[in-house]
Each structure stands twice: as structure tokens, then as C-alpha cells.
Chain A
Amino acid sequence: MNILVCISKAPDTTSKITFKDNDTKFNEDGVQFIVNPYDEWYALVRALELKEAQGGNVTIISVGGADYEPIMRKALAIGADEAVRVDSPAIDAYQVAAEIANYATSNAFDLVLTGKETINYNGSQVGGMIAAIMDVPYTSNATKLEVSGNAATIERDKQGGVEVLEVNLPAVISAAKGMAEQRIPNMRGIMAARSKPLSVISATVTDSLTETIRFSLPPAKGDVTLIDPENITELINLLHSEAKVI
């Protein structure tokens, strides 16, 4: 089975978020970048498990500049066989999805896995867009994935329980917590990653549909009002008369 895993770059969750150039760009100074957690822990690791069980090949793909290569090497160190970087900045979800869909279609993948969302943009858009452009089935937020022959069985959490779904391959599936356990790359993996193929291909898509104009930060939170544990009635009164939430 040939699996394509979409890998994006994200600021470490504890990073301080600031902007530059009149709030038009994310300020990357001093920010530690990681593989987007959903892509790494769940999509990539599950792809590796499926390959280990059934044979095949795991390719990772990123749409981004040369600055993506360190996180791509990390994905190779965890165990992906090869990497492809589409040499273009990621402009919007559609442009990223169209690049990935073009590559996936011309290279006949059985399964395309994405994370459920990027932690920087939280869009949950790219996976569905890839599926629509490829014209193959899509399921989002999968917490379990089994593949048997031509069919994938997926579980996902829904209010009140867990839904079990089946789709035929090829398909695009977005991965959420539960699908696999995080793997830490070992020394051998890190050494091997250096010599694994990382090919750079030119962009084929030129149009984006949206453009980010400006960023802003939420207003700073005021100080907390502390309530005496002996006087909980006051808390309820404040929630009613001051905060007006009950």
C-alpha cells in the first residue's frame, strides 16, 4: 500500500505569538518549529504501522520553502521512506491542497493522510479540499483506522459516542488523537534520515482563493476576582449580576 502523509510545520505549542511588518506576518524570531502534532503523532505513525503490517511505502509531502526541511527530516527519522517538498510558500488552504492533490493523483497513492488541523491555522480545510480535487472519498477526525484490501474502516468521536465508517480506497482521511501513539525517533532513524530521498518539485498551482491581510492579539485579560470559599453565594451573584452569564 502506498501512503502519502501531509506534513505541515507549526510553532511549538508553548511559543509566544507575535507579529511583525505592521501585523501582516507571523514573527518567527525565537520560535521553535515542530511537525504539526496531528500530522506527526497520528497520521504519520499510523501510516508506518500500516506499512509495517501490510508492506508498501510511506511518502511525506510538504508545501513550503527550504525552511520546511528540518521538520521533514524529522518525519523521515521517525520512519517515512521518502519526502517530497513542493517548492512554494503555503499561501492558503486551497493552493496547498491543489499541489498535494496533483502530486497524489499523478503518483497513484492508495491513501492520503492529513492531520485533523494545523495548530497555527486551525482550519481543518486542506484534507477535504485534497479529496474534492482528487474526487475520492473523505473522512475527517478519524480516531482509528484499519485497512483491509480495498476498504478502510474508520472510527470517529461524535457527541454521545463513536461512529464507525467504511470507505473504499483511494481516500483521504484526517487523523485525530487516538489513531496511534507518538514515536520518538531513535539514533538509527536520525542517521538513516540523512540519506533518505528528499526531492524538491516545482509548484504547479499559482492561484490562491484567500489572502491573510492582518493579524491581531486578543485584549489582555483583566485581573482575576478572587472569591472567599466561605462565600460562594457571592460568586453566583456576580455571575448573574456582573458577568450576566447565568
Chain B
Amino acid sequence: MNVLVFAESDNGKVAKAAFEAATYGAKVASTTGGTAAVVTYGNLDQAGLNELASYGISKILHCAAITDLDPSQLTKLTIAAAEETSAELIVFSHDYTGKSIAPLVSAKMKAGMVAGAIDYPETGGDFIVKTNVFSGKAFAQVKIKTDKKIITLIPNAIPNAISKVKAEGAADVSAFSPELGAQSVKVKDFKSEGGEGINLTEAELVVSAGRGLKGPENWTMIEELAKELGAATACSRPVSDIGWRPHHEHVGQTGIAIRPNLYIAIGISGAIQHLAGVNGSKVIVVINTDKEAPFFKAADYGVVGDAFVVVPKMIEAVKAFKAGQA
């Protein structure tokens, strides 16, 4: 089947999740005897486009006219691109942008959609996709009954989710400007909170801390550990509610759900609503003074100890480890 991948751009760069979606789409296309194309938008650099092509993408349709995340225009763009490439499957990343566009494309095309896929589809007989349900507490196999199909893919859900199949060369990029209609959403402002660190949903390593840290001033060591590891920072809900940390760092049922390779939870008790956002992590490390903290039940590695003693030791240990690797 021919596959179209919606690739999100962010400040002129192709998002990491888009490379994952491209690899996924290319793999589905190749196992079913089709080709994979990409539709993307905004001000993109050629290097990013060339890199996209190296993941098995045969054609890239690029619409420079759209620069804002306008669901109505991006929906029209995606549908036109699906027609142009005779796509039977459209793949989005299950992130902020994908969630804003994919349901609209699905309803307009009457193409069945599975949100939050965590594996490749079964394509032998029925088209069946495995997805996360009940806040990560269970999985469902969902059959798509329509000829045209839509999947949103959870970032970091598939091991080796990004794999190059050919060297980077000049990508086959066509300027693509279908009829887009008027913009439906106006972006009036962007209030920066400064957190220009690693994108939390895309991060492979995450260092997270909770109320056990006692005050915002104690995040210096959390940030230092994250920096040494090349990790993003996250926090529990009470910590963002009282304003110790920005809201976009809050993970859990009411915050964002993440699936990093490594989640380090420091001074977080492990309430069920917190776990709902992080239980898809591959490896969980818990540091807590209370050996009865529920988080230890969900952990792979645990340290029963005081964060103010353990974290500085971790920073030293990571530094030493990196020095040994170099």
C-alpha cells in the first residue's frame, strides 16, 4: 500500500518524531509493496528534507505557504497530498500537531483512524493496529474497516524507530500548493517560558522530580543531572501547580504522557495518576527516601535514599562514566 507521512516542522527543522513516522511509514509501504511519500509545510531547510528522504521516502511534497498550525488548512493539504500520492494509509505522529490534524483528516475522508499506535500494523488479512488504552494500563487491537486508513504513532514507542535505508542525497522535493481555503485559527501570540531545552515528548532520557525536592531552588541539581545525561526535565503535578516548574513539564494523567527509554523519578511518590503518564517508559529509576513509596513497584532500579545526597553523586558518576567513554 502507498503510505503518506505527515511530517511536522518546528522552527524550520523537521521534528524528530517526523523521522520516526517516516521510518514507520516506509516500512509499512515496503512490506506491503507500496511507496512512501511525505507531506510537510513551513520554512524548511534542505538538509532536513534530504535527511527525511534517507529513511525510505520516495517523494516529498512541501507546502511553504502554510507556516502556522492551522488545522483546517493542514487538513486540506494532507487530503490533497493523499490524493496526489494515491495513499491508502496516512501516518501522523501522536503529538500536539498530529492530534490537532489527524481526526479532521479522518472525518473528512471517512478514513478509519487508530490514535496512539505502539507497533506496526498487522497487514496480512484485516488491517489491525495495536494501541495504548486506559492511560497506558492496557492495549487494544483495533481493526480499520475502511479502504483509506489513518494512524497516529506514539513517539518513542518502537525500538529503533528511526532507521536510515539509504545515504542522504538530494531528496525528490516538489513544491505543493493545493487550494487551502482561508485560515481558521489565528495565532495571536507566543508567550515563551524560556524552556528551550529538549522537547519532553521526544526525549529519550528524562529526569523528573517531585515535591520531595522541597523548593524550586533545588532544581539546579536536577537540571545539572539532566544536562550531563542529555536528558529533558519533567515534574509531578503539584510541583507545576505551585509554580516551582513550568506547566509544560508536568507529566501524568492530566499532564503529558511520555515514553522515554529512561525515566528517572526523584522525590516523586508514584501516585497512579503520575504513573499513567510515564508507565510506557522502557526503564524507570526511582530515588526516594521512603522505601514504601509506591513508585518502587513500577521501577526497574531503585535507590532508597535522600535526593540531596544521591543526585550530586549521580552527577559525579555520570561525569566519570562519560570521561571513561571518551
Contact = CB atoms under 8 A, between A and B. Distances in A.
A246 B229 contact: yes
Interface in B285-326: 285-286, 296-306, 309-310, 313-314, 316-318, 320-321
Contacts of B273: 13
Contact of B193 (A17, A162, A237): A162
Given A124-B115, A161-B190, A239-B262, A210 B301 contact: no
Interface stretch (A48-56, A102-110, A133-141, A186-194): A133-141
A25 to B, nearest CB: 11
Interface in A3-29: 11, 13-14, 17, 19
Interface stretch (B39-47, B82-90, B181-189, B215-223): B181-189
Contact of B318 (A11, A131, A178, A236): A236
B100 A128 contact: yes
B143 A210 contact: yes
Given A128-B102, A140-B99, A245-B283, A94 B141 contact: no
A177 B254 contact: yes
Contacts of B104: 128-129, 131-132, 138
B75 to A, nearest CB: 7
Given A209-B111, A211-B142, A225-B302, A138 B100 contact: yes
A224 B22 CA distance: 35
Question: How extensive is the interface on chain A, given as a class?
Answer: 35 or more
Question: How extensive is the interface on chain B, given as a class?
Answer: 35 or more
B103 A93 contact: yes
Interface stretch (B27-35, B130-138, B171-179): B130-138
B310 A229 contact: yes
Contacts of A236: 314, 317-318, 320-321
Interface stretch (A58-66, A74-82, A115-123, A195-203): A115-123
B137 A17 contact: yes
A18 to B, nearest CB: 9
B144 A161 contact: no
A163 B190 contact: yes
Contacts, number: 269
A225 B139 CA distance: 26
Interface stretch (B50-58, B59-67, B162-170, B194-202): B194-202
B155 interface: no
A130 B126 CA distance: 27
B106 A139 contact: no
Given A132-B104, A226-B304, A246-B262, A164 B229 contact: no
Contacts of A127: 103
B134 A232 contact: no
A137 B96 contact: no
Contacts of B276: 13, 119
A246 B126 CA distance: 39
Interface string A147-190: 00000010001111111111100000000111000000000000
B214 interface: no
Contacts of B111: 209
B145 A211 contact: yes
A157 B248 contact: yes
Of all A-B residue pairs in the complex, the 10 with the closest CB atoms, nearest first, are A128-B103, A209-B112, A229-B305, A132-B107, A137-B184, A164-B189, A129-B107, A123-B115, A132-B104, A245-B262
Interface of A: 11, 13-14, 17, 19, 37-38, 92-94, 97-98, 119-133, 137-141, 143, 153, 157-167, 176-178, 208-218, 221-222, 224-229, 232-233, 235-240, 243, 245-246
8 contacts: A37-B253, A131-B104, A132-B103, A157-B248, A159-B195, A217-B137, A224-B299, A246-B318
